[in-house]
Amino acid sequence: MNAAVKPESIAASAFGAPDERDIRDRMRKELPSDTFKAQTWRIVWFLPLQIMIWGGLALILTAGLAWYWNLGLAVLVGHSIGCQAFLAHEVLHGALGMSKRWQNFFGWLGFGPFVVPPEFWRKWHNVVHHGNTNMGDADPDSFGTLRRYNADPRQKKFTRLAPGSGSWYSYLFLVYSFTFHAQLVLWFQAKKRKQFKGFDRRKAIVQSMVCVAGWLALAALSGPLAVFTVVIPFMVANALGQGYILTNHFLRPQTPTNNPLDNSMSLRSRWLMDRLHFRFSHHVEHHFFPKMASNKAPRVRQWLESQYPERYVAIPHGTALRLLYSTPRVYKSATELVDPNRPEKVFNLLPLQQQYKAG
């Protein structure tokens, strides 16, 4: 165990301990006060991202470039769209301050290309996901428990789309699944789940259709070049986001308490990629402080590594993606994953805790 661990942290350091509030309070006291202040100046990063998106699209449509140059530009556009969503994620949590109207404006820039209206994202992500992270079948971002699939066997077909199912088309999941999942939540879960009570679902559906119309208009304008202005950017942006999102919780146990140390996971990414992607790799840190700007998240990581090395988990990004595709997605128990189509395929999550803990 790390020598820097304080005695009071050892007493409540066991996996599953309901100590998330105490940990959060200690960090607020021990970390510099500016760690938790809004970083409004970071809104400037939307400018270069918008320039790359619109400049890239303009070059594809007007410059008459060879296909390989258009391919490179399409990847750049898609990557920039994905980076914008990471930044908009911070904006809609309030990490950059601003009025709600301005937050919505930048939320549209970041999530509109994914067909996700900002008010819908707030309800789905900020409220329902953060409030029920990896808890039974309550988290809309989880494939849930085996009980759910036994109750409705038809849902088992859906799990074959997911990483870890072994189907050939599961390897395409990343390139469309953020937008796909968002629409499933909007059209079905938001209609049935009590957590969405009071949410204006019809308005969000209309707004989503406007986003779809925008993509269709761009495709019509592009003609054959739509493969570079629409298809590839859409796929790259989805894959970039899901390459982080799917690893944040899918390899962590379900817990009775909403403790980020136990139900969330961070990633260890390359220095440059981490900054380009607005440190979305710092996910345990984000769940402790959703309104904290990501440029301050390394302070929280350092504190957690020193104080809770036996519980804080951060896996190399590439390793996490390989694990994602080699493990099932449904919870047989709080600490075991199972494939409902192949019940003999069970994976115990607890050894990962020991293998990738900070200490």
Per-residue pLDDT tens over the stretch 295-327: 999 999 999 999 999 999 999 999 999 999 999
Q: What is the pLDDT of residue 6?
A: 44
Q: What is the pLDDT of residue 174?
A: 98
pLDDT of 10 strictly over 90: no
pLDDT classification of 4: cutoffs 50, 70, 90: very low
**Integer Cα distance of 170 and 207 in angstroms:** 29
Q: Which residues pair with 346 in a beta bridge?
A: 338
Give which of 90, 125, 109, 237 is closest to 178, Cα–Cα: 237
Per-residue pLDDT tens over the stretch 182-223: 999 999 999 999 999 999 999 999 999 999 999 999 999 999
Please give the mean pLDDT across all residues of the chain: 94
Token pair in block for residue 147: 């009980």
Q: What is the pLDDT of residue 1?
A: 32
- High-pLDDT (> 90) share of the chain, %: 91
Per-residue pLDDT tens over the stretch 251-283: 999 988 999 999 999 999 999 999 999 999 999
pLDDT classification of 9: cutoffs 50, 70, 90: very low
Bigger pLDDT: 357 vs 160: 160
What is the biggest distance separating any 2 CA atoms in the chain, rounded to whole angstroms?
66
pLDDT of 12 strictly over 90: no
Main-chain phi, psi angles of 342, to 5 degrees: -140, 80
Token pair in block for residue 293: 């700007």
**Integer Cα distance of 186 and 184 in angstroms:** 5
Q: What is the pLDDT of residue 17?
A: 84
Domain extent listing, the chain: 7-356
Q: What is the pLDDT of residue 2?
A: 38
Per-residue pLDDT tens over the stretch 57-93: 999 999 999 999 999 999 999 999 999 999 999 999 9
Per-residue pLDDT tens over the stretch 96-144: 999 999 999 999 999 999 999 999 999 999 999 999 999 999 999 999 9
